[in-house]
Amino acid sequence: MKYLLVILAAFLCALLLDAFWWEPSGLMVREYALAQDAPALKGLSIAVIADLHAGAPYIDEAKIDEVVAQTNAARPDLILLAGDYVSDRADGSLRLPLSAIAEHLKGLEAPLGVYAVLGNHDSRAGSRAVAAALAQAGILVLDNSHVVIGRPAGSLVLAGFGEELDTARALGGLEQQQALCLVHRPDTLPQLPPSCALTIAGHTHGGQVALPLLQGWALDYASRNGVRYPAGVRREDGRTLFVSPGIGTSWVPVRLGVPPEISLLRIR
């Protein structure tokens, strides 16, 4: 019995070290292969950076530099940032200044550009201030707006949606054209137009802990749809949704079975 207790204590210590240090302090590039019918998306590689929460535990300026270096080393055609760049305290102050976050994100580079939407933490910090800081870093924030990106495979419509959706303004008359859509919350998928052939989101952190009860509780807290859109690829009503589990943490600095990642989508 004594040896069993020693083994159990060692296991629990290892689990806690993994959950509160090893996993949340790590970073990897994880690749996903996606089949898409939209011609303008074919052959595209997209790096997705979600929920950086700069200033949260393990997400200091050096970590942002690591995110930038690993993203650029993956050589994506396009880089998309899915919101929540800041980590805010209960009193509303930021753990890392906007200017520092933007300065360290400035090195992101991709042939087709670097684009972003804002998340709920960014809105609390001040949407205009966050968007202005990202603009200084050469990152265009799409707030219910779109850009048309020229590619040999055809023009790619990239639409970004704000926390308050305005689909008509976001697509501006291009509702009938297949688009790549960027949002923060995956909950918004049912409200997006059918022209969103591929939608990319963040926000959920994958529940942060891949244990059924804890993950379900965390997803219920993060999303009104609960476990419907946790992380990864989901096909629904002829459309594709990808939810990145993101990089940082909020509330509790823990990750278990949901390691921080830069998501690299390869579309075929």
- Residues contacting 15, CB < 8 A, separation 6+: 256
Reported residue count of the chain is 268
What local confidence, expressed as pLDDT, does residue 166 receive? Answer: 92
Torsion of CA 255, 256, 261, 264, to 10 degrees: -140
| DSSP code at position 19 | I
36-85 pLDDT, tens per residue?
A: 988 889 999 999 999 999 999 999 999 999 999 999 999 999 999 999 99
181-201 pLDDT, tens per residue?
A: 999 999 999 999 989 999 999
The whole-angstrom separation of Cα 267 and Cα 78 is 12
Tokens of 116: 């972003």
Quote helix, strand, coil % in the chain, to nearest 5. 35, 25, 45
Indicate the average pLDDT of the chain.
90
- pTM metric for this prediction: 0.92
- Cβ–Cβ < 8 Å for 156, 44: yes
**Bigger pLDDT: 12 vs 256:** 256
What local confidence, expressed as pLDDT, does residue 210 receive? Answer: 80
**Bigger pLDDT: 96 vs 224:** 96
Residue 100 burial (C-beta neighbours within 10 Å; 0-12, 13-18, 19+): middle
Strand order in the sheet with 196-201: 145-149, 156-160, 179-182, 196-201, 239-243, 232-236
What local confidence, expressed as pLDDT, does residue 173 receive? Answer: 78
> What are the φ and ψ backbone dihedral angles of 243, each rounded to 5 degrees?
-115, 115
Q: Is 70 helix (H, G, I), strand (E, B) or coil?
A: helix
CATH of 2-267, one of 3.40.50.1000, 3.30.1370.60, 3.30.360.10, 3.60.21.10: 3.60.21.10
Find the mean pLDDT for residues 16-37.
Answer: 90
89-104 pLDDT, tens per residue?
A: 878 889 999 999 999 9
The whole-angstrom separation of Cα 57 and Cα 250 is 9
CA 52 from centre of chain: 8
> What are the φ and ψ backbone dihedral angles of 37, each rounded to 5 degrees?
-85, -25
Amino acid at 47: A
Tokens of 178: 């297949």
Find the mean pLDDT for residues 116-124.
Answer: 95
The whole-angstrom separation of Cα 249 and Cα 204 is 10
What local confidence, expressed as pLDDT, does residue 20 receive? Answer: 83
- Cβ–Cβ < 8 Å for 48, 265: yes
The whole-angstrom separation of Cα 225 and Cα 244 is 16
Q: Strand pairing of 140-141 and 145-149? A: unpaired
Nearest alpha-carbon partner for 177 in 160, 194, 152 = 194
- Residues contacting 208, CB < 8 A, separation 6+: 215, 218, 249, 252, 254, 255, 256, 258
- Cβ–Cβ < 8 Å for 95, 87: yes
